[in-house]
């Protein structure tokens, strides 16, 4: 009986020593998470240019009546209380904020603090040899393959190697490579060509 207790305690001690050694080894092997960098943004569209159809949230700190949610109109403007129309199309969010600050300083507020963010990006369009052509809501980080999947996939006539894109719905089509990880931007028009064999 004493011998069995003695073996049990030796066995238990060995198990504890092994468990502690494994835990210490894992703690050394696992890298510590990198500290968050100040000012680091998760949004991939920091240099995104605003355009018609984008929905913005504007906050003027300390002046709740001057903020709200606004859509960039067909002329590229946002109409804000007190200061009227502000041109937004073609500007980044930071440039737009600075323009609002400038207008508010011009006889309205002494030291305005303004924050703006894009709530909804303007849609993109996909046409050609896909099952459901049309207008679709844009999502950050979207690729051509994601866009095709949203539109119901390729038709049997689609030439998957000939996909064209018109950036921001203007300008010339750019032929894309067979790599369908190419990023899509808000307002883009994507066209999937037909194969001829």
Residue ranges of domains in the chain: 55-120, 124-194
Q: pLDDT value at position 33? A: 33
Q: pLDDT value at position 38? A: 31
Q: Two tokens at 28? A: 């050394």
pLDDT digits (tens, 9 = 90+) for 18-57: 544 444 444 444 333 333 333 222 334 568 899 999 999 9
55-120 and 124-194 agree in CATH topology: no
Q: What is the mean pLDDT of the chain?
A: 79
pLDDT digits (tens, 9 = 90+) for 14-29: 544 454 444 444 444 4
Q: pLDDT value at position 167? A: 81
- The CATH code that applies to domain 55-120 is 3.30.1950.10
Query: 30-34, 74-78, 97-101, 169-173 — which is least confidently predicted?
Result: 30-34
Classify 124-194 by CATH class. alpha beta
Q: What is the mean pLDDT of residues 109-138?
A: 94
Q: Two tokens at 143? A: 């690729």
């Amino acid at each position: 009986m004493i011998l069995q207790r003695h073996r049990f305690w030796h066995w238990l001690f060995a198990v504890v020593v092994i468990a502690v050694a494994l835990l210490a080894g894992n703690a050394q092997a696992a890298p510590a998470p990198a500290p968050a960098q100040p000012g680091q943004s998760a949004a991939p569209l920091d240099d995104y240019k605003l355009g018609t159809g984008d929905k913005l949230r504007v906050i003027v700190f300390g002046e709740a009546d001057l903020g709200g949610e606004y859509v960039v109109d067909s002329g590229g403007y946002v109409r804000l209380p007190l200061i009227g129309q502000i041109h937004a199309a073609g500007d980044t969010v930071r440039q737009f904020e600075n323009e609002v600050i400038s207008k508010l300083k011009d006889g309205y507020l002494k030291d305005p603090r303004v924050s703006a963010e894009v709530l909804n990006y303007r849609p993109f369009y996909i046409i050609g040899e896909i099952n459901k052509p049309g207008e679709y809501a844009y999502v950050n980080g979207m690729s051509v393959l994601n866009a095709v999947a949203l539109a119901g996939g390729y038709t049997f006539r689609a030439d998957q190697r000939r996909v064209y894109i018109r950036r921001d719905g203007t300008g010339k089509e750019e032929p894309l490579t067979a790599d369908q990880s190419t990023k899509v931007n808000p307002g883009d028009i994507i066209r999937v060509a037909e194969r001829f064999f």
